[in-house]
Structure 1
Amino acid sequence: MNNTGSSMRILLVDDVQLDRMQLAIRLKQLGHSVETAASGVEALAIYPKFEPELVLLDVSMPEMDGFEVSQEIRNQFPEWIPIIFLSGHEEPAMIAKAIEAGGDDYLIKPVDKLVLNSKLIAMQRIAFMRRELKRTSAKLSELNIALQQQVNEDGLTKVFNRRFIDTTLREMIAWHSRHQAPLAVILLDVDNFKPFNDNYGHIEGDKCLIDLAKMTKELFNRNGDYVGRYGGEEFVVLLSNSDKENALEQAQRIQNGLAELSYPHDFNNGMGFVTVSQGVLSLVPSGKEEIDDVFRTVDNGLYQAKHSGRNCFCFAGFELTAELVDQKVHS
């Protein structure tokens, strides 16, 4: 009988104890897992925990009849599960009402063993296909997540890539503008990275960037923090709900993290380890800011840090003038 090689989880709902017990025994003998309920209320409580693959539902019950229970199942649990009604009524109108209430089939009590077995075989095939579909969907979901990660990820350092950072910053500007909340952008660049590559080689240079990205990602792991590689030896950190004071504190955390990491760099103006220069920006956006304007501004802060001796950070002011706004609106 079990030609799919698997049993079903069956929820049996019947207020008559003897009928319920006899049918449950028969179902278990056929290899199925069975949960029973004596009322509609009890069945609805069991349903989400048991996750049945088939519901056998008596029509005539006190408080909630089978039609009401079926409608509640369809309303509360959107995933379709077959429902077979059990009833002593043979009238066509009752069968039509059962289908209208969300039922998929209708069996007359007392249920003939051969008919029941045939119905169960058909339901088993459906259950088997649903399981296979779920497994396939889960695999596709995993593949989609992996693919999306590859699309958004920098291949070398495994932090976000520039494309993702630009898109995310655009979304953050819109959100923080609506809520009149500050966001922060930190742009950091490895000091004297060309001498590092020239003396240690590009493989060691890649390893340095990987370790720097890993450290930065570990520092910024809360919801609303994003770490990305913006190109070459430049990285960017986006911070939600971060004012100027907090943004500067986070830049200092990066400086401290690098000092603790102490990645060797004997060609870094006597520092002895890898350092970065940082441009720091915090603003409450109006929603009119362009990505290029934001990065141009924070890059000015980075430029100031480079010309202030490196291994430091500088705050960059941001102002979108009325003239610039007018140009953007009419461009």
Structure 2
Amino acid sequence: MTNPYKYCHFLSNPVAKPPCRMINAAMYGFFVSACEQKMQQYVDATLNTVANDSVSFNVLGSVCLLTFTDIEKISSLTPPFSEQGWMQETDIIIWLPVSKVVNGDIAHLYWYPAFISVNNIYALINGREVWGYNKYLCDYDMPTPANKTSRFSISLPCFDVFSANSKLAMHELLSIEQDNINTSENLLDNLALFSKRVADFFDDEVKGVDFSLIKQLFEGVIHPQMDQILFKQFPDGEGTSAVYRSVVHSPSVIKKIHQLKLLTNNFTLDVKSVASFPLHDMFGIQLGSQAVHLPFYINMDFDQLGASQVLPA
């Protein structure tokens, strides 16, 4: 899709240019049981609206990844935006593992941030406008050096039920509690060990995909880059047509890993029924309390590169 217009970076416009550098990104990750059919329906309603006869996108297995990431410092690497300042950002994301299928064969594996919420408006505007992240604002709890809570949670301004009388209010969408806080953590000194453990777990979930590809997908979470695929669209003034719609790719290039560990604590995820964000309908994540799988922690620096168009070609 070609566009004859150059983007206007006018005064007061908060949109900056990528790439941007993330320093001390402290990520907690939890693999969550979901429904392959419902995740595929979500992919069909987003990524595959831009698919064609030869290229489409398929979900891998019946597990998604839930992450809470506190990023100490983010700034653009492109002048003059690199001289304007930096910000802290926290994001909570549900990632779907997705394959790009070309003429019936798997051509590439991606992570699709299908749900993402952040804690500041600058991150929201830049994420949506430049990359196409479907970002939303939230309040949250998660462990940080300054906050030793063992609880994770996310609350959003939304509707808990849809009705003519519903008023927008803050509602908790999900929370994670540690069941045995005093247990030890399994420190890892080998990145390949982490990716192999996760790939072994996914091998039972994903059928018809070569094990080496699965391992490659999860190595990409931490080294050398995490390939993200996004659905970017903007509506017209009536909200009925898209003035822009495409599938884009943006790599997260890992620059340094400060720490990586598997968490041996038992964690329980509790998912609430919220009409604005129906996680059960979106991804098949069960409502109520449930276990999570292979919880991990990683602290890293990475660069988020600009987004390049995948489809339409």
Please give the TM-score of this superposition, normalised by the length of structure 2: 0.18
Structure 1 or 2: more strand by fraction: 2
Structure 1 or 2: more helix by fraction: 1
User: Which structure is richer in relative contact order (CA contacts within 8 A, separation 6 or more)?
Assistant: 2
Please give the TM-score of this superposition, normalised by the length of structure 1: 0.18
